[in-house]
Amino acid sequence: MKCKILTAFLSGVMILSPVIPIFAQSENSDAEWNNHPEIFQVNREPAHATLMPYDDVKSALDAEPEKSRHYKSLNGKWHFKWSKNPSERPVDFYRQDYNVSNWKKIEVPGNWQLQGYDYPIYTNITYPWTGYENPAPPKAPTVYNPVGSYKRTFTVPGSWKGEEIFISFQGVESAFYVWVNGQKVGYSEDSYTSKEFNITKYLKPGVNTLAVEVYRWSDGSWLEDQDFIRMSGIFRDVYLFSTPKIHMRDFRVRTDLDDNYQNANLNLKVNVKNYGKETAANYKVEAMVYDAHKKPVLNEPVSMDIQVPGKNETAVQAEQLVKNPLKWSAEHPNLYTLVLSLKDNTGKIVETESAKIGFREFELKNGQMHINGKPIVFKGVNRHETDPDRGRAITEESMIQDIKLMKKFNINAVRTSHYPNQTKWYELADQYGLYLIDEANVESHGVRDSLPASDPRWTGAVLDRVKSMVERDKNHPSVLIWSLGNEAGRGDNFKKMADWVRQADPTRIVHYEGDNRWTDVESHMYASVESVENYGKSGNKKPYILCEYAHAMGNSVGNLYKYWDVIEKYPNLQGGFIWDWVEQALRWPTPKKILVNDESKHELTGQLYGEIVEGIDGKAINGYVTLPNVPELNVTGKQLTLEAWVKPQPTNTHSPFITKGDTQFAIKQNNDRIEFFIYDRTASYPWIVAETKIPENWVGNWHKVAGVYDGHSLKLYIDGQLKAEKEYSGAIVGNNYPVNIGRNAENDRLSNAQIDHVRIYNRALSETELNDINRVPDENTVLWLDFDNYKEEEYAQKEYFAYGGDWGDRPNDGNFSANGLVSPDRTIQPELWEVKKVYQNIKIKPSDLKNGKVEIANNYLFTNLNEFEGKWTLKEDNTTLQKGSLGRMNIAPGQKKLVTLPIQKPNLKPGAEYWLDISFKLSKSTAWASKGHEVAKEQFKMPYNTPEGPALDPSTMPPLDIKETEQKVNVSGSDFQLVFDKVKGTISSFKYQEREMFKTGPVPNFWRSPNDNDKGNGMPNRTGTWRNAGRDMKVDDVKVTAVGNNAVQIDVDATLPTTTKSNYKVSYFIYGSGDIVVNNTLTPGKNLPEIPAVGMELMIPKEFENISWYGKGPQENYWDRNTGADVGVYRGTVDDQFFPYVEPQETGNKTDVRWVTLTDKNGTGLMAAGLPLLEVNALHYTEDQLESVKHPYELTKMDDIILNLNYKQMGVGGDNSWGARPHPEFTLYANKSYSYSYRLKPITREMSPMELSKQKINVK
């Protein structure tokens, strides 16, 4: 709360015009875009608030800029020419006589990479040009640095005669020059804020010519190393606007609430520019505030007299009391319209302007951030501007879709990571109610140790970027915090930015995670729960936020609630922003499926991602080949030969030729060196490398490379000559990654070379053999690829979501761009339901459930719970017994209340469970959701002492016929037949009424398809011993014991081939009723890694497509991500259980499952019931399939069904995706035994799985 003035206060300040740098003129100097960090604009207008002139108050109040007489859009089709680099660009295209009629046209706004030119590049930290060259900053790349030449014509409306005319570029990446009618107007950098030029003096009557030259990269690109898909072009609106000669060039609005947060002090500052020569005397600026119904709020306008000398600018200020306006918050985004009118000395309106304003106050108070006097908690997400079809040229409809989804899922805050967004986003955030951290376009991640740092060469550029953001967005009530950038290192330049921001806007606070010395809020990324709690415990008076946490890559966001248990515990912890909202991927045509055939004795088939090209003598590949992860290619020990012909292109990074991940063997290029390595994890430095520099004629020519290991040394050959040798006698150690040609599957590095004649041997070839051109495959050849023998097929799916590497971009960071809570097309991902639950603002806790007592807490800041309809339901299993309304409860913000529900204890049914569901829904429709939308819920299991269900007496069941041979046990009942395979230790056939229930019986399974977090923490390799442990188990003993005439017990004792052997015991109890009870116990061997899953896997016939379960749902859920899933009975199809993550991985799991059925259309099928609980997954894909492909379109859907009945699988994790593992409490450690049981039973439509599940069977 600053000054409180109850009457209008006026002041006027003359502002001198800024000094504008001139274009770089020296013949030998670099242009502005290259090697000139101190030149970031030429002849550009000063930044200002988003505004549009109107001619009258009504138009300003309507606030439709596109309908203003002063607005003319230049969006649409422009002539366009793409050039590979600056030296190839059409230098004189801006001239009026330069004919572009034969150029194709491109849509503006838009990224040219999505319109048939160039290609997207996705990298996280690595600068995108390093695949071609590696200039030192501040130099920009020149070898491959595409330039887009844009040209169009326009006419100036006749009504603009005598006015100043400007061109506004809302977003151009990364640097651009502007010419009008052949005359150079100006230059600018900074891709993400508005850039404007006064073009009045360059115009002529009639048709005018506009030319824009856009550089994909400039020296300014060193400050734009964000983790996003790199694209370029004019990707936001371009328009002309006119102003009178005397023009309100800028204005600033502040709302300062009194000590009671009731009345407001409206503080206005208006900058008036005189473009004429004569003094504008006795002019006046009037301000009026209007409510949502367009009614004036003030008794009379705020009036400010002003006098502006010619060619100058003057600022005038005023303050006015506004009595008890409706306050703005994300919960209640009350907006008013401010209309400014500039009048001349006769009282005639010269122009009007307007802005939506919100009366609110944001401040630091007692070590907390407060809004309108209440301590705020950010339940936030980070959000990139991205659209699968339009790239970063996103539409208003897409923004509204995002905001509505966010509001529906209890998200109240967004960090504009990592650049200022389109201006429309801020208007919508004001309108719908979101708190924003507005972030400057400053990220130098790849070189953050050296720039901007404290380097004075970059000071002007970073100050310009933060100024452009603050000046543009300063009037938006949704903006609470200014962020200086992201991952750009530390240094004095950030202090200078922070100092400027505080001086320019003392009503907001400063954020920058990279250097918290200069900030008002302590900000961290991906801190552990323990670290966050330690800060909370410290009592530090500097408020703390997680500007990034819960990395939502793929199937993720585990243990989210644990962060919030801590955040809600300590007042100095004020929330966090999940990384991130929407997955970055582009809708792309599905490529052809190209299969290449191995000519060794193994006759393997690989899949090519790329194209077939002409090779050294026949066909070659440009791309990479994945091969099956089979034992034949898992060459270990002390003998190995790798061989290929390669035609490399320039690179400054890794370019793999033949690899088995990064931890077994490879031959590759690494910058200017060729390397052949083997991996021996027992060595102090496990990579054993023979290496040499690349030959002088390396680039663009075919060369033969070979690596040989003979148990004594590694030898590296280039073009038949030994170039390097490294003595070593250790053994190659295996990993769990597949062999790839042209790619390293472990870290997703891609080759920049064409590749031909690939050979792998499990012996060491001599130099003579290597140079034998007549050599043919022999017994030791494990792979022989010449690429002449290939096959092309079409995929059924014609489009897919593409990510790094899919566009031939090298380097790239694969699918690391896909970290969203929603898919690229805004499909809700299952993890978002967990976010909604954790972020909900109504907390319901049990107090005395037996007597219907619950505590309801209102964690909203400004919303009484009487705005919602509360309801409760008491269920017996899935049957509603009682229900009632909580009405519209009067619980004030920040308060809680003990509520007694009028629950009548029911007659308890043996074996039943009783559930209390409480829900709060909107009592009326809002801008973002319809009446009845659920905002909060909770489920409690009622603590009734329910008697056990009825016991089944085996003695009353039909008798069994048991026949045992050396290899099989045949068990027959009255309506079923079962065959037990004693060799494999499982059921091989189970028929009920002559129908087969299994395709394959229960097989122990200790694996899951790795999710992105698993891959990031090394799980596939670290825990690889469990991958096939169940599949490859060795049966040591099978014991068959008849239990009377009505049951049989089959006990299996087996050994699992883990690194140290593990014991596995399973008992099958088969009853005359057709029930099968399975008890199993895993006893891991010593010193084994954690276990991805403990369970069993069955294959079920395809006709059993309909799935029902009684457990948590309906969305997939996991051990560490199931608070947002309630227990109930859910139904669907097996097809429905698969979620198409951008890169396929573990999906479809359900926890706390009591029973599950898979049935055909007639209701006949198989039931599995937990004794007491299971985790269940049913898919048309195997784990091997899910982890062997990069995109969903590559999956071949099986007809039959893979059913996993697990004790548990480990949590999905999510603290980060590059090393963090699931929390210990959600991990299956191998230092203990695991036992669990379940029941299998054929089922028909006439049977009730709920009733059957209550039956107890004494397996003793």
**What is residue 946's DSSP assignment?**
P
Q: Residue 272 carries which side chain, given as an amino acid letter? A: V
Strand order across the 164-169 sheet? 71-73, 238-243, 164-169, 195-198
The backbone region for 1180, taken as left when phi is positive above 0, alpha when psi lies in -120 to 50, beta otherwise, is: alpha
Element spanning 574, H or E: strand 573-578
Helices vs strands, H then E, count in the chain: 13, 79
Provide CB contacts within 8 A for 659, sequence distance 6+: 665, 666, 667, 668, 739, 740, 743, 744, 745, 746
Element spanning 109, H or E: none
Assign 3-state DSSP to the chain and report helix, strand, coil percentages, each to 5.
15, 40, 45
CA distances from 977 to 369, 673, 1074 (A): 70, 65, 9
Rg from Cα positions in the chain: 35
**What is residue 159's DSSP assignment?**
G
**What is residue 1021's DSSP assignment?**
H
Check: CB of residue 413 under 8 Å from CB of residue 379. Answer: yes
What residue has token string 């970063």? 392
What residue has token string 């004594």? 712
Distance of alpha carbon 443 from alpha carbon 417, whole angstroms: 10
Task: Judge whether 361 counts as a catalytic residue.
Answer: no
Does residue 751 have a cis bond before it (omega within 30 degrees)? no
Number of neighbouring beta carbons within 10 Å of residue 1204: 22
Distance of alpha carbon 984 from alpha carbon 760, whole angstroms: 34
Distance of alpha carbon 20 from alpha carbon 746, whole angstroms: 51
Q: Report CA torsion sign: 1107, 1113, 1119, 1120.
A: positive
Distance of alpha carbon 711 from alpha carbon 743, whole angstroms: 26
Q: Report CA torsion sign: 694, 697, 702, 706.
A: negative
1125-1158 as b/e, with b when 16 or more CB fall inside 10 Å? bbbbbbeeebeebbbbbbbbbbbbbbbbbbbbbb
Task: Judge whether 746 counts as a catalytic residue.
Answer: no
Active-site choice (361, 548, 675, 1143): 548
Check: CB of residue 793 under 8 Å from CB of residue 749. Answer: no
CB half-sphere exposure, 835, CA atoms < 13 A: 33
Element spanning 1010, H or E: none
Check: CB of residue 864 under 8 Å from CB of residue 817. Answer: no
Check: CB of residue 310 under 8 Å from CB of residue 274. Answer: yes
Active-site choice (487, 938, 1116, 1175): 487
Element spanning 115, H or E: none
Cα 939-942-948 angle, rounded to 5 deg: 130
Distance of alpha carbon 451 from alpha carbon 444, whole angstroms: 7
Distance of alpha carbon 1056 from alpha carbon 1035, whole angstroms: 9
Does residue 141 have a cis bond before it (omega within 30 degrees)? no
Check: CB of residue 526 under 8 Å from CB of residue 548. Answer: yes
Q: What is the 3-state secondary structure (H, E, C) of 14-73?
A: EECCCCCCCCCCCCCCCCCCCCCCCCCEECCCCCCCCCCCECCHHHHHHCCHHHCCCEEE
Report, as residue numbers or ranges, the catalytic residues.
487, 548
